[in-house]
Chains A and B, each alone.
Chain A
């Protein structure tokens, strides 16, 4: 993007893309992989004494579904939620249930509101994040815990404000996903 370019002249990056196609494995696999990494990362950042970090895997899942509806199947919440449950500390099945329900909810919203902008997407995501954290707390409390609701408020706020950043990460991964790296012919 540096310097002046004549119309039609391609940048060096573009020039490298002639005669190349995106890798199908990358194009299909990268969304799944990025969500799984999102599930793992919060556990590594800090040995936390309170729920402080946003559920990054869930944020990435919602962001992928909002940015590229239909890229992942509706049932993607089942395997991805199962993976998240193995590392999140929630009772196993909590994310399977909530992520699947989220995918269906987002599909219904997409059908009702085909014309959306950034703020509507953020508003919908904020509602889903708050519901996800509160319901996750309810499930964890049913199965042994007794954490009061007010403990989760900072996490809900942090997660809602972190969501646009998760969207940027997803948008970046989406560009990488379709980068032309396979040589044709």
Chain B
């Protein structure tokens, strides 16, 4: 059926005018959008206040949905657990036997490490995280990879702080609002993290590709030493990210590096930790103080 057209306004002046001004307003909408984009282009942080206010307004619903997500995930896990119980049991037994010997080796290495550190006079302890919270929402339908965090400047979160899960690095805080903050995930194309290979320390940069994987770019060009299965950890060069945080595992070797999969899938993470901005300590001595190296990027 052809719907009645609103365009045929007939002889009524009033109807003609309202149609006309409707179109004027529609075109004005296009122009206003272009103007907003121009402002965003000239000054990227110009609308962060609006986004923060919006995120704060939606925070209760976001928190509830985060709890719902984790509940839904655990239901799936339970069902999956029943189906895979037998084969998983056998696999776990095998792995347990293997890891017992590994554990003894690791304990020995740990003791030696402690002894050597004591010799050097290095008292490096990991500081407590700034905040432990949930990721409440994300930009699931955009090409950019942002997430919203349920903690803000009231909890001590500041722009530039790294966000980690028990499985590895997730991203860093981009804008901190009063009770929420925006996180740039490591899979975003604008995210660049200095990393090294965990075995021998081959330095590289990890840049997001926008599709959930990461491009590892070697700093030393030449023969590509990377192999499938290499694990990359943050190197801490340039500050910001604490060295030694696990980040990604290489899945495909390319000509100038590798394509890697992020180890800490934010979708599978319930709680994340916001850590203090890490500043490199030039000489062994006191741990980094709170005031220095807060300038973020």
List residues of chain A with CB under 8 Å of any chain B CB.
40, 42-56, 69-70, 73-75, 77-78, 81-83, 85-101, 103-104, 107, 110-111, 114-116, 136-137, 139-148, 151-152, 155
Contact = CB atoms under 8 A, between A and B. Distances in A.
B144 A89 contact: yes
B26 A54 contact: no
B26 A74 contact: yes
A47 B135 contact: yes
A91 to B, nearest CB: 5
Nearest to B46: A92
A103 B25 CA distance: 11
Select the residue from A87, A91, A155 with max chain B CB neighbours within 10 A: A87
Interface in B22-59: 22-23, 25-30, 32-41, 44, 47, 50-51, 54-55, 58
Contacts of A54: 141
Interface of B: 2-3, 5-7, 22-23, 25-30, 32-41, 44, 47, 50-51, 54-55, 58, 61-62, 65-66, 69, 135-148, 185, 187-190, 209-212, 262, 265-267, 269
Given A44-B65, A69-B3, 12 more contacts: A48-B267, A49-B145, A69-B6, A74-B26, A77-B26, A87-B55, A104-B26, A107-B7, A111-B5, A143-B41, A145-B144, A147-B210
Select the residue from A82, A104, A147 with max chain B CB neighbours within 10 A: A147
B187 A100 contact: no
Contact of B36 (A92, A116, A140, A146): A92
Contacts of A141: 143
A168 to B, nearest CB: 18
A70 B146 CA distance: 35
A50 B7 contact: no
Contact of A43 (B7, B137, B143): B137
A93 B3 contact: no
A55 B143 CA distance: 11
B41 A96 contact: no
B142 A140 contact: yes
Contact of B267 (A46, A69, A95, A148): A46
Contacts of B69: 44-47
Contacts of B262: 49
B102 to A, nearest CB: 30
B23 A104 contact: yes
A111 B47 contact: no
A114 B2 CA distance: 5
Contacts of B26: 73-75, 77, 100, 103-104, 107
Nearest to B19: A74
B144 A140 contact: yes
10 contacts: A47-B135, A69-B5, A74-B29, A75-B28, A82-B36, A86-B54, A95-B33, A110-B5, A147-B143, A151-B209
B58 A87 contact: yes
Nearest to A90: B142
A104 B30 contact: yes
Given A75-B29, A103-B26, A53 B140 contact: yes
Contact of B51 (A86, A93, A103): A86
A97 B22 CA distance: 16
A75 B34 CA distance: 15
A75 B267 contact: no
A44 B62 contact: yes
A97 B61 contact: no
Contacts of B212: 49-50
A144 B141 CA distance: 17
Contacts of A55: 141
Contacts of B58: 40, 87
Contacts of B188: 145
A111 to B, nearest CB: 5
B269 A47 contact: yes
B61 A50 contact: no
A74 B25 contact: yes
Nearest to A81: B33
Contacts of B144: 89-90, 140, 144-145, 147
A53 B141 contact: yes
Contact of B5 (A98, A114, A136): A114
